[in-house]
Structure 1
C-alpha cells in the first residue's frame, strides 16, 4: 500500500473534519462534511494542507449523488434499513 504523501494528508484532513462534526454532535453528511472542509480551507495557512483540503473536497463532491438519483434510507424497529430511490421525478407513471 504505497499511498502518496498527498493522499495520506487528504485522509488526515478529512478525518479531522469528520471528528469536528462528531464533536459538535451535528449530522455527518456529505454536505456537512463539504461545508466543514471549506471552512477549514478558508483559514488554513499551510499550502500542503490547502492542497489536501482541495483534494478532500473533490473526493466528497465526486461521491455525492446527483439530485435526480437521490435516495432516502430509513431504519425500521428491527434495525433493517430500507432504501427508497427517486428514479422518476415526473410522477406520470404513478398509479394509485
Structure 2
C-alpha cells in the first residue's frame, strides 16, 4: 500500500509527540500525546506543520472515540448470571424490560 506524504507527515508528528512525552519523563497516555500535539500546533512556524498537527489530533480523537464505543463490559448479577454490555447496551440487543 502506498502512503502519501500527508500520511507520512502525520505519522512523523505523532512519533515526535510520543518521544517528547517520553523525554519529559511522564507516562505516555492519550491525554499526554494530545497535549503535546496541541503544543506543537501552537508553536508551529509553518502552516503546513500546524495543519498536519491538527489533522493528527483529529485522527487521535477519532480513534479514541471509536475505541470507547466498542468497549465491552461483563457484569454478573445477584444470581451469578453473566451479562455482556457495550457502550450501546447489551451486545445481543435484547432489552430487559
TM over 0.5: yes
- The residue number in structure 2 matching 1:6 is 6
Structure of greater Rg: 2
Distance change >3 Å, CA 55–CA 68, structure 1 → 2: closer
Task: Point out where structure 1 has 5 or more consecutive residues left out of the alignment.
Answer: 72-84, 89-96
- Consecutive aligned runs of 4 or more in structure 1 exceeding 2 Å deviation: 65-71, 85-88
- The residue number in structure 2 matching 1:64 is 64
- The residue number in structure 2 matching 1:22 is 22
Please provide the CA RMSD for this pair. Answer: 2.5
TM-score by length of 1: 0.65
Which of 1 and 2 has higher RCO (CA within 8 Å, sep 6+)? Answer: 1
1:45-87 per-position Cα deviation (integer Å, ceiling 9, x unaligned): 111111210111001101224878778xxxxxxxxxxxxx988
SS of residue in 1 equivalent to 2:62: helix
Distance change >3 Å, CA 87–CA 2, structure 1 → 2: closer
Q: How many residues align?
A: 75
